[in-house]
Structure 1
Amino acid sequence: MIPGGQSLVSSPPVFSHDGKKLLVCTGCTVSIFSTSTGMKIMELEGGHTDRVTSVVVVPVAAPSSKFISYCWTSSIDGTICYWDFSVPELIKKVKVQLPIHSMVIPNISCTPIGSSEKTSNHYAFISVEDPTISADENKAFRGQIQIYNLTKSRRVRGLLAETRKPELLSVSKNGEFLGITNKRKLDIWKIPSNDFRIEEIKKIKLHHTKKLTALAFHPKLRMVAGGDVTGRILMWIGFGRRKFSGDSQATNKKKNLTDEEKPGVRNNDDADSCSTWHWHPSEIKFLSFSSDGAYLYSGGKEGVIVVWQIDTGKKKFKPRLGSPLLYFTESPDPSLSCVTCADNHIHLLKMPTMEITKSIAGIKLPFSYPVGHKGLCTQVAYDETAGLIAVLTEDYCVQFFSLFDNHEVSQVQVCKRNFQPVDDVTLYVALVSVSLDGSLMGTVDVKIPEDGLGGLVSLKFWMRGSRIAEYSLSTVIYEPHSDAEISSLAFRPGHCMAVTSSFGGDFKIWIHNLGIKLNDQLHQKTGWRCQSVGSYKGRPMTAAAFSADGSVLAIAAESVVTLWDPDSNVLVAVIGDTHSPITSLSFIGNSEYLVSLTGGSTPQLAVLSTSKLRLSWSYKLVAEALSSSRDTSQFSVLVLLNSQCGIEKENGVILLFDVEDPVPVATWMVKKAKGGSLAFVPANPSFDEIKAMDGEKPSLLVYVNGDHEYIIFDPHNMDNRIGKSSRTSQIALEEAGMFGYASIYGDLSNLNPKQDQVPEITFAPSERPWETIFNGSSHALPPLTKLCSTFLASLIEKKPSMNE
Structure 2
Amino acid sequence: MITGGQSYVSAPPAFSADGRLLLVCSGRAVSVFSTATAMLVSELEGHEGDVTAVVVVAPPAQATAAAKLASYCWTAGLDGVLIYWDFLAAEVMRKVQVGLPVHSMVVPDIYRTSKGVEVSSPFAFISVEDTSKLASEPKALCGQMRVYDLTKGRQVGGLLAETRKPEKIVASSSGEFLGITNKRKLHIWRIPTKDFKPDKIRKIKLRHTKHLTTLAFHPTERTVAGGDVTGRILIWRCFGNSKFSESSVQSKEDDGRDGVRGDDDADTCTTWHWHSSSVRFLKFSSDGAYLFSGGLEGVIVVWQLDTGKRRYKPRLGSPLLFFVDSPDSSISCVSCTNNQVYLLKMPNMEVMRSIAGIKLPIASPNLGGSNRAVYGFDYTNRLVAIPTEDYCIQFYNLFENAEVSEVQVCERNFQPIDDITMYISMVSLSIDGDLMCTVDVKLPEEGLGGLVTLKFWNHGSRAGHYFLSTVIYEPHSDDGVSSVAFRPGRNMAVSSSFGGNFKVWVQSLSSQSNDERNCSGWRCQSVGSYKKKPMTSAAFSADGSVLAVAAESTITLWDPDNNALVGVIAETLSPVTNLSFVGTSVFLMSLCQSSRPQIALWNVSNLSMQWSYSIYAEAACCSPDGSEFAVLALLSCPDGEASTQQDGVILLFDAESSNPIASWSVKKASGGSISFVKGDVPLDANADSSRDKEPMLLVYVNGSHEYAIFDPRESEEVVISKNKHKKIQAEEPAPIGYASIYGELTKLEPKKEVSDVPFVPSDRPWETIFSGSSHVLPPLTKLCSAFLSSLLEKRPVANE
TM-score interval (norm. to shorter) = 0.7 to 0.9
Cα distance, 1:525–1:16 mapped onto 2, change above 3 Å: closer
- Matches of 1:158 and 1:720, distance apart in 2: 45
- Matches of 2:635 and 2:168, distance apart in 1: 33
> Where does residue 11 of structure 2 map in the other structure?
11
Residues 747-784 of structure 1 deviation map (CA, whole Å, 9 limit, x = unaligned): xxxxxxxxxxxxxxxxxxxxxxxxxxxxxxxxxxxxxx
Does structure 2 conserve the Cα–Cα contact (< 8 Å) formed by 1:58 and 1:110?
A: no
Cα distance, 1:602–1:192 mapped onto 2, change above 3 Å: same
Cα distance, 1:239–1:453 mapped onto 2, change above 3 Å: same
Shift of 1:256: 3.0
Residues 282-320 of structure 1 deviation map (CA, whole Å, 9 limit, x = unaligned): 100000001111110000011000000101100001111
- Matches of 1:588 and 1:483, distance apart in 2: 33
Cα distance, 1:434–1:66 mapped onto 2, change above 3 Å: farther
Alignment pair present for 1:669 and 2:671: no
2:731 is aligned, of 720, 729, 735, to: 735
Secondary structure at 1:10's aligned position in 2? coil
Alignment pair present for 1:275 and 2:274: no
Alignment pair present for 1:227 and 2:227: yes
- Matches of 2:518 and 2:180, distance apart in 1: 65
Residue pairs, 1:550-569, within 5 angstroms: 550-569=544-563
AA aligned to 1:713 is F
Alignment pair present for 1:707 and 2:704: yes
Q: Which runs of 5+ in 1 are unaligned?
A: 112-116, 744-787, 797-804
- Matches of 2:436 and 2:465, distance apart in 1: 10
- Matches of 1:590 and 1:490, distance apart in 2: 17
AA aligned to 2:180 is I
Does structure 2 conserve the Cα–Cα contact (< 8 Å) formed by 1:346 and 1:361?
A: yes
AA aligned to 1:569 is N
Residues 333-362 of structure 1 deviation map (CA, whole Å, 9 limit, x = unaligned): 221000000000000001111111101000
- Matches of 2:582 and 2:533, distance apart in 1: 25
Secondary structure at 2:660's aligned position in 1? strand
Secondary structure at 2:318's aligned position in 1? coil
Does structure 2 conserve the Cα–Cα contact (< 8 Å) formed by 1:687 and 1:725?
A: no
- Matches of 2:66 and 2:368, distance apart in 1: 62
Secondary structure at 1:276's aligned position in 2? strand
Secondary structure at 1:689's aligned position in 2? coil
Alignment pair present for 1:627 and 2:629: no
Cα distance, 1:110–1:550 mapped onto 2, change above 3 Å: farther
- Matches of 1:463 and 1:372, distance apart in 2: 27
- Matches of 1:235 and 1:524, distance apart in 2: 58
> Where does residue 102 of structure 1 map in the other structure?
104
AA aligned to 1:169 is I
- Matches of 1:110 and 1:738, distance apart in 2: 33
Shift of 1:517: 6.9
Cα distance, 1:525–1:154 mapped onto 2, change above 3 Å: closer
- Matches of 2:148 and 2:503, distance apart in 1: 66
Does structure 1 conserve the Cα–Cα contact (< 8 Å) formed by 2:3 and 2:722?
A: no
Cα distance, 1:563–1:737 mapped onto 2, change above 3 Å: farther
AA aligned to 1:233 is I
Residues 361-413 of structure 1 deviation map (CA, whole Å, 9 limit, x = unaligned): 00001111126664565521100100101011010000000000110000000
Cα distance, 1:525–1:122 mapped onto 2, change above 3 Å: closer
AA aligned to 1:616 is Q
AA aligned to 1:579 is L
> Where does residue 315 of structure 2 map in the other structure?
320
Residues 560-611 of structure 1 deviation map (CA, whole Å, 9 limit, x = unaligned): 1111111111111111212311111111001110111111111011011101
- Matches of 2:491 and 2:687, distance apart in 1: 34
Question: Number of residue pairs matched?
Answer: 734
Secondary structure at 1:151's aligned position in 2? coil
Cα distance, 1:374–1:630 mapped onto 2, change above 3 Å: closer
> Where does residue 746 of structure 1 map in the other structure?
none
Does structure 2 conserve the Cα–Cα contact (< 8 Å) formed by 1:713 and 1:722?
A: no
Q: Which runs of 5+ in 2 are unaligned?
A: 740-746, 754-800
Secondary structure at 2:158's aligned position in 1? coil
Shift of 1:494: 0.7
Over aligned residues, Cα RMSD in angstroms?
A: 2.9
> Where does residue 94 of structure 2 map in the other structure?
92
- Matches of 1:525 and 1:198, distance apart in 2: 75
AA aligned to 1:642 is S
Alignment pair present for 1:364 and 2:359: yes
TM-score scaled by length of structure 2: 0.87
Alignment pair present for 1:305 and 2:300: yes
Shift of 1:551: 1.0
> Where does residue 765 of structure 2 map in the other structure?
none
Secondary structure at 1:669's aligned position in 2? strand
> Where does residue 150 of structure 1 map in the other structure?
150
- Matches of 2:645 and 2:515, distance apart in 1: 62
> Where does residue 763 of structure 1 map in the other structure?
none
- Matches of 1:521 and 1:719, distance apart in 2: 49
AA aligned to 2:55 is V
- Matches of 2:299 and 2:735, distance apart in 1: 39
Cα distance, 1:371–1:552 mapped onto 2, change above 3 Å: closer
Cα distance, 1:39–1:108 mapped onto 2, change above 3 Å: farther
> Where does residue 80 of structure 2 map in the other structure?
78
> Where does residue 55 of structure 1 map in the other structure?
54
Residue pairs, 1:725-764, within 5 angstroms: 728=726, 731-732=728-729, 734-735=730-731
Shift of 1:246: 3.1
> Where does residue 505 of structure 1 map in the other structure?
500
> Where does residue 793 of structure 2 map in the other structure?
none
Q: Percent of counterpart pairs with the same letter?
A: 57
Cα distance, 1:723–1:54 mapped onto 2, change above 3 Å: closer
- Matches of 1:521 and 1:424, distance apart in 2: 40
Cα distance, 1:85–1:450 mapped onto 2, change above 3 Å: same
Shift of 1:515: 1.8
- Matches of 1:536 and 1:542, distance apart in 2: 12
Residues 136-170 of structure 1 deviation map (CA, whole Å, 9 limit, x = unaligned): 11111000000000011111131011000000000
- Matches of 1:630 and 1:348, distance apart in 2: 41
Shift of 1:715: 1.0
> Where does residue 585 of structure 1 map in the other structure?
579
Cα distance, 1:371–1:633 mapped onto 2, change above 3 Å: closer
Secondary structure at 2:731's aligned position in 1? helix
1:475 is aligned, of 470, 475, 478, to: 470
Secondary structure at 2:726's aligned position in 1? helix
- Matches of 1:346 and 1:49, distance apart in 2: 24
> Where does residue 543 of structure 2 map in the other structure?
549
- Matches of 1:185 and 1:144, distance apart in 2: 16
Residues 424-456 of structure 1 deviation map (CA, whole Å, 9 limit, x = unaligned): 111111110111000000001111111111111
Shift of 1:190: 0.4
> Where does residue 697 of structure 1 map in the other structure?
694
Residues 672-710 of structure 1 deviation map (CA, whole Å, 9 limit, x = unaligned): 000111011111459793998258631011000001000
Secondary structure at 1:243's aligned position in 2? coil
Does structure 1 conserve the Cα–Cα contact (< 8 Å) formed by 2:112 and 2:120?
A: no
Shift of 1:67: 3.3
TM-score scaled by length of structure 1: 0.87
AA aligned to 1:401 is Y
Alignment pair present for 1:255 and 2:255: no
- Matches of 1:435 and 1:12, distance apart in 2: 39
Residue pairs, 1:189-204, within 5 angstroms: 189-204=189-204
Does structure 2 conserve the Cα–Cα contact (< 8 Å) formed by 1:486 and 1:501?
A: yes
Cα distance, 1:98–1:546 mapped onto 2, change above 3 Å: same
Does structure 2 conserve the Cα–Cα contact (< 8 Å) formed by 1:497 and 1:510?
A: yes
Secondary structure at 1:17's aligned position in 2? coil
Secondary structure at 1:241's aligned position in 2? coil
- Matches of 1:629 and 1:234, distance apart in 2: 59
Cα distance, 1:324–1:630 mapped onto 2, change above 3 Å: same
Shift of 1:118: 8.8
- Matches of 1:323 and 1:605, distance apart in 2: 39
Secondary structure at 2:199's aligned position in 1? helix
Shift of 1:234: 0.2
Secondary structure at 2:188's aligned position in 1? strand
